Amino acid sequence: MNRWLGIREAQAISAVDRTTLYRNIRSGRLPAVREGRGWRLDAEHFMAWLNQRARRRSGGRLSTHLAAPPLQRALPVTCAQAVQDVVAESLDVTLITTDLNGQPMTQFSNPRAFLAMLLQHPQVLAAYMHTWQALANAPALEPVWHEGADGLLCARGLIRYGSALLGMVIALEVAPAGWPPEEVRQRELAQALGVPVDVFLAAAHDVHYLNDAQRTRVLHAVQRLADAFSHMVLVNVANQQRRPSSAAHTPNAQAKQE
């Protein structure tokens, strides 16, 4: 599955400056295809290049055989939230990032009124987390649509650290064909979630309605966002690994100066 990035999009998800990208394209280290007056980057090749770059900048200390750090420590959440918010609005979908147990790491981005209503009932989040944990255990590595606890569609992209899986970016609140369903089905969903039926019926229409092309675009984008977060994790872990080393050398350096 080819997923193409423009230079601006590559900058946004990687924080690599334009000059560095062009220099690596010209040298052949970063594969790219000329399109008019600009360049397009294959997303998979770009993420591989970013991972290699992160390892070089860390002195080669990153390894796929290292124990994977927990996502809550490895992911710079403030930065991830800002990127996730922008992507969710551009796709007209709700997004959230979780660990593999379905525990939220970010706030919901671009939620609709139906979700806001459901989350007023604490047990609903637990039901969502159960669904998300099942998504983590789904055999397919590529994102695919699944029915969630609320009857709506959800899909996940996987966040990796080397060969280890750390978490997920989840797209949700997408209406399946024929939504909202017949009242009998809505009542069943409301009762399963422990939500008042009349409240469910009143808000069920306020979700994301996407056509087939838009749904396919979301599936591609949710994995690309997860890939971007994987890169953030690599860079953040590399920085964390450098800090103790730098601190350890500081006293010796000061002693030599004295």
Q: Going by C-beta distance under 8 Å and a sequence separation of 6 or more, which residues neighbour residue 243?
A: none
Q: Going by C-beta distance under 8 Å and a sequence separation of 6 or more, which residues neighbour residue 149?
A: 124, 127, 128, 130, 131, 189, 192, 193
Q: Rounded mean pLDDT of the chain?
A: 85
CATH of the domain at 173: 3.30.450
Which residue, among 48, 31, 103, has the nearest Cα to 72 in the 3D structure?
103
- Answer yes or no: do 2 and 32 share one domain: yes
Share of the chain above pLDDT 70, in %: 83
- Answer yes or no: do 15 and 77 share one domain: no
- For residues 166 and 99, is the Cβ–Cβ distance under 8 A? yes
Both structure tokens of 31: 């594969």
Average pLDDT of the residues in 9-25: 81
Residues 177/182/188/193 CA torsion (nearest 10 deg): 50
- Answer yes or no: do 22 and 82 share one domain: no
- Does residue 227 sit within a domain? yes
Give 250's pLDDT tier (boundaries 50, 70, 90). very low
- Answer yes or no: do 77 and 149 share one domain: yes
How many domains does the chain contain in total? 2
- Answer yes or no: do 8 and 116 share one domain: no
- Does residue 33 sit within a domain? yes
Backbone φ and ψ for 38, nearest 5 degrees, come out as: -120, -170
- Does residue 86 sit within a domain? yes
- For residues 153 and 145, is the Cβ–Cβ distance under 8 A? yes
pLDDT in tens, 189-244: 999 999 999 999 999 999 999 999 999 999 999 998 998 898 888 888 777 766 65
CATH of the domain at 27: 1.10.1660
- For residues 169 and 157, is the Cβ–Cβ distance under 8 A? yes
- Answer yes or no: do 127 and 206 share one domain: yes
pLDDT in tens, 106-116: 999 999 999 99
Give 65's pLDDT tier (boundaries 50, 70, 90). very low
Cα separation values, 173 from 86, 102, 135, Å: 17, 16, 15
CB-CB neighbours of 157 under 10 Å: 27
Given a cut of 80, whether residue 168 has pLDDT beyond it is: yes
Which residue, among 238, 62, 230, 72, has the nearest Cα to 161 in the 3D structure?
230
- For residues 153 and 176, is the Cβ–Cβ distance under 8 A? yes
Average pLDDT of the residues in 52-69: 57
Helix (H) or strand (E) holding 247: helix 212-257
Give 55's pLDDT tier (boundaries 50, 70, 90). low
More confident residue, 57 or 133: 133
Given a cut of 70, whether residue 59 has pLDDT beyond it is: no
**pLDDT value at residue 68:** 66
Query: Domain range spanning residue 167?
Result: 71-231
- Answer yes or no: do 103 and 209 share one domain: yes
Rg (the chain; Cα; Å): 21
Give 141's pLDDT tier (boundaries 50, 70, 90). confident
| Residues pairing with 160 in the sheet | 165
- Answer yes or no: do 80 and 167 share one domain: yes
Helix axes 77-91, 212-257, angle to 10 degrees: 160
Q: Report the SS3 class of residue 2.
A: coil
What is this structure's pTM?
A: 0.73
